Structure 1
Amino acid sequence: MKSIAAAFLMLLCAPALLLGAEPSVSLKEALARALERNHLVSGAAYEKEAAEEGAAAGRSRYLPRIVLDEAFSASDLPTRVFMMKLDQGRFTQNDFQIGNLNTPSSTTDFRTALTLEQPLFDLGIGYGREMAQREAERMGYRFEGRREDVGFAVYVAYLGVQRAKSVLAAAEKDVEEAREHLRVATVRGREGTGLKSDELRARTFLSEAEERTITALNDLKLARMRLALAVGGEAGESLDIREDVTGEAFRLNEEDIVREALANRRDLKGAEKGVERAEAAVGLARSAWYPTLYAAASVQMNDRDVPFGHDNDGWSAGVNLRWELFDGLGRMHGTARARAERDAAAQYLEQFRKEVDLQVRESILRRAEAGKRLEVARHALLAAEEGSRLVSKRFANGLATMVELLDAQSALSRARTGLAEREADHLLATARIYHAAGIFLKEMIP
């Protein structure tokens, strides 16, 4: 009998032992690890790098382009043969004979050319560079915003573990008290002072409490897995929290938070850069109305028999002005389209500013609401504890029924779980304000 009891005790303790073996982190450690290892942050970093490389590529268009060409051709066309021989320096007096001019023998030519092209005036390069630069800045803000989002997700996951632990502790306490009620009902039934129905009700109540404990255990396991995933862990890993998050005094008033949000929200600043990029796109469309001026120079070698050979060489240099005077009204419509896209981006930005303002004010109201609900939950727990104590004393003296006792116990269980939920909700409501204002990491990792 003793061995069976020992085995049952080990079975009950096994989940707690297994859960306690998880590696743990503090909130700051979890945030730091997530910003370093989370795949969403890494992906945003690569997007930022790609945009910066695109901006660098746009700047490179101001520099000269140097191209090496090697071409081979063979022909018996009179004009082609005439020019090949001239380029190779093989033209002779005999080539001026009428028969040789009209029906020359076929010949070959290897042409080696080193060409340099330098833009002197091209407005499109400047506007294209500005567009790429604005895009790089937008992706930079997107990267910072992703860090904020991931940090907030880690905080939510961290609170999820803390909430699950509190709910599990409440459930285990319910099981402990339910076992005591069953023991009392069993003893009273054995002594003939209690009812069989009381014992059955107590046993059912204990079973329900044990079911809630099983659910709470699984919720805690899943919460730990979500935390591990949020900080960049592998699939299936679990991570425990080392310390609970405690509520801190809220230092900023509503108007200050709104100003912080309008100044610091990365997605809002990214949208502003999107408007600037659209403005540069208008300039790019307008630049198509202006001429372009390019300088070019080339050194050329020609050989009849081998590539990169040197039967003869020469050079050329010049400047090319190109001005498209009419393109079928394509530039006019292109410019109108760019203006419309710029105006659309500006309108979306203005609406987004209003939405950010509303998000911040709503989060502040929700925090006040969460604070009041937390206060109500604390009072409810005190009342439920006192009510359970009084009913338990009345039941011990035979003045209350088992139904009344279990009702009071159920109310106490709900109050305990409700307080755990409200405490986590209040902490999360404060974090949502910082996240809505774009200063979550600043406040969490000073």
Structure 2
Amino acid sequence: MSPRRAALLAAALLAAGLPGAPRAAAPEPPLLGLDEAVAAALARNHLLAGAALEVEKQEDRADALRTRRLPALRLDLLASRLLEPLDFTFPAGTFGTFPGVGPFPPLESRVRTEPQLTTVALVTASQPLTQQYRIGLGLRALELGRDLAREQLRGERQRIRAEVRATYYRLSATQAAVAALSDLVRALEELDQQTGRYLAEEVVLRGDALEVKARLARERWRLSSAESGLATQRERLDQLLGRDLGARFRVEDPSALRSPAAELGLEEARARARARRPELRRAALQRAQAETGLRLSRADWIPDVTLSAHYARLVDFHFLPDHVADVGLLLSWEPFDWGRRGKEASAAGRAEAQAEAALAEAESQVGLEVGARWRALRDATGLLEATRLSVAAARESLATTMNRYREDAKVLRDVLEAEARLSGARHDEVDAIAGRWAAAADLERALGDDD
């Protein structure tokens, strides 16, 4: 083989991405693992902090309502002054006639109260009795609201986790694509330089040389576009992790990643989703809330009975006792309400039926979504296997072409065509890798994984 053809063969091998001369490796940025990224996002994300405060707020409301079960102590103090005197006239015998005493008072009596400062202090202690049932139902409703807030927090954590994993998967696929395109561009640059020298010596055709340049320009554009996408995805991951944009890091290669969701069967995936999806738990809690609301509306028929004790201290009242104390039961009830409570109970019953239907619909929607995501992942995995076979076939075809080229059976155009098929197959493989991991991220989100 002539030296010129040997050089062309070496350049074509470089263009095909086969092992070549060693290059000086630039220092790599630090590796950011997937689990490390998820943990950082859950620890620093601002939206999660707000959802956690909502849980604490609901707990405070429940604690406040619990105090309604306990006795209430109330103090009222009234200090006043009459604007004009009060005169009371008691005719003789107003309070009756008593044996041995006669009428009381025996003569007409007048009592005059001059304007002066008077004070009344009233202390009331009350213990709800029949209201305990209604208070318990209200407490149950608030506890369900707290549980709903917890599910909201859990759902937000799942969303952040799924978003981080999906972004990481896309970033890993794009990073692999950038690396592959960089190698291809370097190989084409060397082939272009070599072809330029041979064009000057009229060893290759001008059309072949222009085709090499056109392919180099196209691959450079693809590399630039992939690098822009990589930078955007890195900034998106930084934002999810709650840190400054522009941090230097690299992610794991797609071959090193593992998605637990990809190992599940369809029925197992649906069962896991039914157990973990926060919207299903929220729907169940909303059904329980509706049931509690119905019981609360029916509890309105129960009279309010309160055990109460009063103590009054009167200052500067000369015609009344200074101390008054009593204890007893207070009943409050509305016997006739024009059907209001019945209508309210009917509306609460309909709300309970709505919540039951919403839960059934949510379960159906989750099952449908998981099935669609599971099949999409299966199809994406099959496509990836097919593209890998295409890459292997294109690589073998290029090797065969190179062997024939050594025997002078082919020209440069045949080598370029074989290389183009391998390049296209590799682009398809990169797209299939990205699609497969995107499908895996969608399935993980549909499962509601907390792991």
Shorter-chain TM band: 0.7 to 0.9
Q: Which runs of 5+ in 1 are unaligned?
A: 1-15, 83-92, 305-310
Greater C-alpha radius of gyration: 2
CA distance in 1, matches of 2:226, 2:73: 69
Task: Spell out, residue by residue over 1:235-290, the C-alpha distance to the aligned partner (whole angstroms, 9 max, x if none).
Answer: x2536345334246754432222222223322212211110110000001111112
Aligned in 2, Cα 1:246/1:357: closer, same or farther, shift over 3 Å?
same
Instruction: Work out whether residues 161 and 240 of structure 1, in 8 Å CA contact, stay in contact via their aligned partners in 2.
Output: no
Aligned length: 401
Residue 42 of structure 1 pairs with residue 49 of structure 2: yes
The residue aligned with 2:66 is 59
Residue 274 of structure 1 pairs with residue 274 of structure 2: no
Residue 318 of structure 1 pairs with residue 328 of structure 2: yes
Aligned in 2, Cα 1:347/1:296: closer, same or farther, shift over 3 Å?
same
Residue 246 of structure 1 pairs with residue 253 of structure 2: no
Aligned in 2, Cα 1:231/1:146: closer, same or farther, shift over 3 Å?
same
Secondary structure class of the residue paired with 1:441: coil
Q: Which runs of 5+ in 2 are unaligned?
A: 1-24, 89-104
In structure 2, which of residues 356, 377, 386 is the aligned counterpart of residue 346 of structure 1?
356
Q: Superposed, which structure 2 residues align to 1:137-176 within 5 Å?
A: 137-176=147-186
Instruction: Work out whether residues 246 and 427 of structure 1, in 8 Å CA contact, stay in contact via their aligned partners in 2.
Output: no
In structure 2, which of residues 279, 295, 298 is the aligned counterpart of residue 283 of structure 1?
295
Q: Superposed, which structure 2 residues align to 1:182-261 within 5 Å?
A: 182-234=192-244, 236-238=245-247, 240-244=249-253, 245-247=256-258, 250-261=262-273
CA distance in 2, matches of 1:394, 1:302: 120
Q: Superposed, which structure 2 residues align to 1:61-100 within 5 Å?
A: 61-76=68-83
CA distance in 1, matches of 2:325, 2:39: 61
The residue aligned with 1:433 is 443
CA distance in 1, matches of 2:263, 2:217: 46
Aligned in 2, Cα 1:183/1:24: closer, same or farther, shift over 3 Å?
same
Aligned in 2, Cα 1:69/1:241: closer, same or farther, shift over 3 Å?
farther
Secondary structure class of the residue paired with 1:238: coil
The residue aligned with 2:36 is 29
Secondary structure class of the residue paired with 1:319: strand
| Counterpart residue identity of residue 361, structure 1 | G
Secondary structure class of the residue paired with 2:394: helix
Secondary structure class of the residue paired with 1:222: helix
Task: Spell out, residue by residue over 1:349-397, the C-alpha distance to the aligned partner (whole angstroms, 9 max, x if none).
Answer: 1011111111222222112111111111101222333445556777895
- CA drift of 1:188 comes to 1.8
Residue 115 of structure 1 pairs with residue 124 of structure 2: yes
What RMSD over aligned residues (CA atoms) do the two structures have, in Å?
A: 3.2
In structure 2, which of residues 330, 341, 344 is the aligned counterpart of residue 334 of structure 1?
344
| Counterpart residue identity of residue 257, structure 2 | T
In structure 2, which of residues 141, 153, 161 is the aligned counterpart of residue 131 of structure 1?
141
CA distance in 2, matches of 1:317, 1:432: 67
Aligned in 2, Cα 1:303/1:365: closer, same or farther, shift over 3 Å?
same
- CA drift of 1:291 comes to 0.8
The residue aligned with 2:190 is 180
Secondary structure class of the residue paired with 2:450: helix
- CA drift of 1:192 comes to 1.7
Instruction: Work out whether residues 225 and 239 of structure 1, in 8 Å CA contact, stay in contact via their aligned partners in 2.
Output: no
Aligned in 2, Cα 1:205/1:428: closer, same or farther, shift over 3 Å?
closer
| Counterpart residue identity of residue 234, structure 2 | R
Tell me which protein shows more helix as a share of its residues: 1
